[in-house]
Every structure is written in structure tokens, then in C-alpha cells.
Chains A and B, each alone.
Chain A
Amino acid sequence: MLYIFCPHCGLRSQNEFAYGGDATVKRPELNKEISDQEWNNFVYLRKSPRGKHLELWHHISGCRQWIKVERDTSTHEIFKTYKADELTE
């Protein structure tokens, strides 16, 4: 069981959260000419590192806020959590 610290609610069990995937992928800017390759990179390509991974989680059975979690993908250690709009280190 993962225990995730929600910046809004405190420490909660994984059962209250839904995973939202890699938080480092950036959508191409609006109103800008975008190549197929840029779309491809955004939609499909993933680093999927072994080790530190910044990811989105949705506290769906809690405050319903999206948060960012920095977690190790091989040990499941959670280093730090952020509000969705907070800048990460």
C-alpha cells in the first residue's frame, strides 16, 4: 500500500487516489503551429525512468484535487508531493 501525502488533506492511502501519469510531458502551446512530430512527442513518447518519477495523481475519493508526486519507480519511495500548480524542483 502506498501512502501519499496530499498537500490539501494530509497523509492518505493509495485507495483514495487515481493515477494520472507522467507529469513532465508538456502540451504544445496553444495558437502555435505544431508539427506532427511535436504532437507525437507529447501524446505518445514517455521517458518512463527507473528511479525518480514526477507524476500526477488525482485525489478522487478525497478533495478531488490533482497533485504532483515525486516517487521512485523501483522502491515506491515517495520523496515529495506538490499542488498541481506548484513549481517542482
Chain B
Amino acid sequence: MQKYSVFSLIKNAFSDHQNWEVAWKDPTPKKEYDVIIIGGGGHGLATAYYLAKEHNITNVAIIEKGWIGGGNVGRNTTIIRSNYMHDDNALFSEFGMDLWRKMSQDLNYNVMFSPRGIINLAHSDAQMNAYSRRGNSMRLNGIDAVLLNREEVQKRIPMADFSDNVRFPIFGGLMQPSAGTARHDAVAWGYARQADSMGVDIIQNCEVTGFDVNNGKIVGVRTSKGDIKAKKVGLCVAGSTNILAEMLNMTLPIETHLLQACVSEPVKPLLDHVVTFGAGHFYCSQSDKGEMVMGGDLDGYNSYSQRGNLPTLQHVLTEGIAMFPFLSKLKMLRTWGGIMDMSMDGSPIIDKTHIDGLYLNCGWCYGGFKATPASGWTFAHTIAQDRVHELNSGYSLNRFNTGDLIDEKGLGTKTWIS
């Protein structure tokens, strides 16, 4: 594989950038693989990469119905954080933060990781107390957390509404300085390029139409490009999880819902951090191009449509304007939607299933992007070793049976309530 560097850039400039190697090939599927990963999104690509890199399993195919990175890894708001209170989530995400920090070097691909810090705003004394508790829990798990008072928040984001007589005055906030953003497409492409170079077949425009299960063991996958045999199969398909589960006669604690995001027209740099509104569900950061990147609530009813509805967008942006009044002056550039695999406790599932050789990675709700490296790393371990790693032992499928839920937000099964 051609190494990307300033020298290769200069060298290729002489040939008008016409001679770059393709970043990944477009192979026809083989008859059989050791492992098939279904879903060429961030998590699937990362899984294949870590299978090859950490476990030396390279006879691997990624099967993707559309094109790689066309789902949620290309549709998110690029936020990376580990500001969780529960141990399972905190340790898992913080492990991921470490992978994020090394990712550009590791993949030889600039993922533009920008640890600009996230500030969760608080609008009451009670919320400050809750954040203080969450911050302490984070610090006990080795995650950086700083409780900011009103003046400290104002110093960092003076453009927020600090005027008198606002409905939700800013009391302060909880900041994780090491959180940030990354270039989402680059994450997919970087993993794809490295996985491909180690021998992984990335098969695009290939839809899974069924599974071959024999005596409780997976033996292959039926696809629109023919039947492919496999010793092990991993599902990494986010919002489409239930569609595949139905083919396997499995019913999962997952509902598919739609989440929208949007960007404004680009403006000069004014927002240094990722900021979330504490009296509703709205988050905002500024991209390197200058666009304000915004998101918030689910549309609120089961949906596979990948495009959103205006009432929710209006509601979300009303919250945004309450927090940052200047947003009302900006034009909207683009809006889009992605379909989320909402689990019944808000936490993911990375586990084996009752079918031998079939592994499940789903339930990321609207927090899947930041989890990409840790999810891929632990899922690769689970598949390669046929047992869960300590880091994803809490993310079991069985926890709904045993009552060991990880309900970070305390929302229960009503995933559409935010």
C-alpha cells in the first residue's frame, strides 16, 4: 500500500494527482471466508481492520448493501466523547478515546481528530448537582471532567444567551476537555483502506437476502451476488438490525428510529467547543468549513425512511436558538436523517448469539460514531476469540433477561421520549 505523506503528496502533484493507487479494491466475492462482516459502516470496517491487525484473521469479507460509509458514519454530527457515568459505558468509551487519539497515525489517514472539548450546559441548581455527580464518576474512571460555573462558561462560549429573563438561564456546565470531533468520512475510508491492504474484501452493492444455518451453527450468507460460505458472521448494520434479525427468526430489544441532523451556511470561526443544551435535546459544534453542525431529538416514531420530518427539526432548532440566539440569523444549508438502532436501555449490544458463529453488534442508539474504534476493537475480539472482552462484557444481549440494564439516561424502553 502506498503510504500517505507530504512526500507522496508532492510526488503525485507532478503527475497531476492522476497516479494515486485506489484506496480499496472492488473484488468479486470468494466462495468462502473465515469471517463475514455484514455492514460496511464505521463499525463494520473497524471490526474487519482489528480482525486483521489484532487477530491476524485476514480471510474476511465486508458485505455492504449500498456503498461503504453511506449510512450513519456519513450521517452523524461527528462528536466524540466519553462523558458517561456508568462504569460499563465509561471504561468502554475511554478505551475508545485512546484509539481516537492514535487513529490518524495508526491508519496513516488524517481523520482530523479535534479534541476541542464538550460542554453540557446546566440550567438549574439540581442539574449542576447531577453534573457534579456525573463528573465525579467520570474522574473516578480516569476521564477528565471539569465543572464550570456561569462565568467560566461565559468565557468559553460568550455567544450563548446570558441575558436576563431567559426561560432557561445558564447556571454552569460540565466539560470534558478531551472530547471533540473527527472527520466522519475519513474514519470510514481510513479503516477501509487499511483493512483492504491487509487482505479484507470490501464488497459493495451486495445485499444480504438470507442466512444458512445448519444445526444451530452459521454456515453462510445468501446475497444478491450469490451464496457465500462463512465460518463466522458478524452483524454490524445499525438501523437495519431488525430486518436481518427477522431473517434469522430472532426478535431483539431494538427499535429503529430516525434521527435528523443539519448544518447551517458556513460562517467565520466562533464556536470553539461542542456544546449541548441542558433543558432539551440539542447539540452544536462548528465544522472546519465553518458550518454550524446541529442535531437533537429523534423524530419520535419507528422509521426506516432515512429522511426526517419538519416538526421535529423545528422543535430542535427552537431549542438551539434558545441557547445560541445568533443561529436564527443563519440559513440552513442541508438537513438529513439516519436510522438508529435504539436499544431498550439506551446502551449497545456486542455479544454472541444463540446461533453458533453468529455475532451481534447493535443498539448504538444515537451514540454510534464515537464508539467506532472501541466497537470494532471489542467486536473483533469477540468474533476472533469466540468470547466477549472485559470491555464489552456489560453489553450482553442477555442483560434484558437478567435485569443488568445500563440505562445511562434513565429513559427505560420508551426510546422515542427525549
Contact = CB atoms under 8 A, between A and B. Distances in A.
A2 B311 CA distance: 9
Contacts of B246: 47, 49
A19 B300 contact: yes
Contacts of A60: none
Contact of A76 (B251, B305, B413): B305
Interface centre among B246, B251, B304 (most CB of A within 10 A): B304
Given A1-B311, A14-B309, A76 B303 contact: yes
A88 interface: no
A57 to B, nearest CB: 8
Q: Interface majority SS on B: helix, strand, loop or mixed?
A: mixed
Interface residues of B, number: 24
Interface in A37-88: 37, 40-41, 43-50, 53, 55, 71, 73-76
B400 A73 contact: no
B305 A49 contact: no
Tell me if A's interface is mostly helix, strand, loop or mixed: mixed
A74 B305 contact: yes
B251 A73 contact: no
Interface in B192-245: 242-243
B414 interface: yes
Interface in B250-272: 251-256
A73 B309 contact: no
A47 to B, nearest CB: 6
Interface string A10-44: 00001100010110000000000000110011011
A28 to B, nearest CB: 15
Interface string B145-181: 0000000000000000000000000000000000000
B400 A40 contact: yes
Contacts of B344: 43-44, 46
B302 interface: yes
A73 B305 contact: yes
Contacts of B300: 19
A74 B304 contact: yes
Contacts of B413: 43-44
B302 A55 contact: yes
B109 interface: no
B254 A46 contact: yes
A45 B309 contact: no
Nearest to A45: B251
B13 interface: no
B299 to A, nearest CB: 9
B243 A40 contact: no
A19 B243 CA distance: 22
B302 A44 contact: no
Nearest to B415: A21
14 contacts: A21-B416, A36-B401, A40-B401, A43-B400, A44-B253, A44-B413, A45-B253, A46-B242, A46-B251, A46-B253, A46-B254, A47-B246, A50-B242, A71-B301
Closest 3 pairs between A and B when the two form their complex, measured CB to CB: A44-B253, A48-B242, A74-B304
